[in-house]
Amino acid sequence: ERGGYPHFMLKEIFEQPETLKNCMSGRINVEATNVTLSGIIDHKDKFIQAKRIIIVACGTSWHAGLIGKYLFEEFCRVPVEVEYASEFRYRHPVIHPEDIVIAISQSGETADSLAAIELARHAGAFVYGICNVVGSSIPRNTHSGSYTHCGHEIGVASTKAFTAQITVLTMMALAIGKEKGKISVEKYLAVIKELSHIPEKIERVLALNKSIKKLSRIFTYARNFIYLGRGYNYPIALEGALKLKEISYIHAEGYPAAEMKHGPIALIDNEMPVVAIATHNTVYEKVVSNIQEIKARNGRVIAIVTEGDKSVKSLVDHCIEIPSTEECLEPLLTSIPLQLIAYHIAVNKNRDVDMPRNLAKSVTVE
């Protein structure tokens, strides 16, 4: 049932072109000119009038939520807060009836996320779910929602559910942004068109598996890792570090690249591998100078770059080249090599990739 793959995780990583097609199917039209999400259409006014969006989630789903913040702010011009469900539920959060609370959860059973939406409902907010497991507790306890439709995820480390969550958030931001008139027609059309090409671009990233496997050997015995990204790729740095931690048990931290100089750069020496996302986008130059600072301190840098990049290549130790895309869609591509790096390092270390120690697929207790 692993379909010839040695682990469910690898199978699920390779399924992503297909799972994202399923996620978009019936939502993006064949001409790739329009997005429709029934959960939004049915509650259009709520979304148009919302004064604020609060996203609650845990773990990888929380990282998807961070990307959601960038998307909703850019395309819908609405303030967004992203909260760890476990913190939100025990604070005294200020929730208004004009707020929309979005819970993101693969399993739909995460205890803290369920408690957070309970709280939000009592405060009168409109609660929307983004879940994978059909009929699970979160979809049953929300006013509306969208399923990610990526199929059963078995590996404890979430991969295909994450990219499907980002895809749903992107479609939501496009649909709401259009209703609110906050996204230009050109941008709306450009992003949808690109989104429809993401599955084939992921195929191209997956074709790099062999070289990523080879690269991972060099870093298998590192004791620590740092992941850096900015803008839309900052949450991907966090997610890359989480993947490595949970399945290889190597200590890793993700940072917004510019934060390095505020402390963590003190950690850099030639035994500290740094994975830097330096794709060709609006923050490219900034990330390049952050990489220069790392190199000046003898850090070893693996960079994720856009195909054809020259300046980063001449600067760093290893490069992984991925296809170019709309900046807001880059997370869907940049997350793939980081999933593969974590996977191969864990396999090299003989770890139980699908069932890492101390972890459960869904955290139904707090």
Binding residues vs ligand M6R (CB under 6 A): 58-61, 105-107, 110, 113, 156-158, 246, 359, 362-363
Question: Are 26 and 35 contacting, i.e. CB atoms less than 8 angstroms apart?
Answer: no
Q: Residues 6 or more apart from 237 whose CB is under 8 A from it?
A: 227, 228, 229, 254, 255, 256, 257, 275, 277
Min CB(139)–ligand M6R separation in Å: 12
Question: Are 275 and 334 contacting, i.e. CB atoms less than 8 angstroms apart?
Answer: no
The token pair that represents 230 in the structure block? 């900015």
The token pair that represents 79 in the structure block? 């303030």
CA dist 321 and 323 (Å) reads: 7
CA dist 65 and 315 (Å) reads: 32
Closest residue to ligand M6R in the complex (CB):
59
Min CB(242)–ligand M6R separation in Å: 6
User: Which residues, in sequence order, are bridge partners of residue 55?
Assistant: 82, 102
Question: Are 342 and 247 contacting, i.e. CB atoms less than 8 angstroms apart?
Answer: yes
Nearer to ligand M6R, 116 or 171 (CB): 116
Nearer to ligand M6R, 80 or 156 (CB): 156
Min CB(158)–ligand M6R separation in Å: 4
H or E segment at 305? Answer: strand 300-306
- Which of the 8 DSSP states describes residue 57? E
Min CB(361)–ligand M6R separation in Å: 7
Min CB(142)–ligand M6R separation in Å: 13
Nearer to ligand M6R, 153 or 321 (CB): 153
Nearer to ligand M6R, 296 or 359 (CB): 359
CA dist 101 and 110 (Å) reads: 16
Three-state DSSP class for 237? helix
CA dist 17 and 203 (Å) reads: 6
Nearer to ligand M6R, 41 or 359 (CB): 359
Nearer to ligand M6R, 105 or 281 (CB): 105
Min CB(207)–ligand M6R separation in Å: 24
Min CB(132)–ligand M6R separation in Å: 8
Burial of 5 (0-12, 13-18, 19+ CB in 10 A): middle
Strand order through the sheet with 318-322? 251-256, 224-229, 273-277, 300-306, 318-322
Nearer to ligand M6R, 16 or 105 (CB): 105
Min CB(342)–ligand M6R separation in Å: 10
The token pair that represents 84 in the structure block? 């760890």
Min CB(366)–ligand M6R separation in Å: 12
Nearer to ligand M6R, 113 or 167 (CB): 113
Nearer to ligand M6R, 86 or 324 (CB): 86
The token pair that represents 200 in the structure block? 């084939």
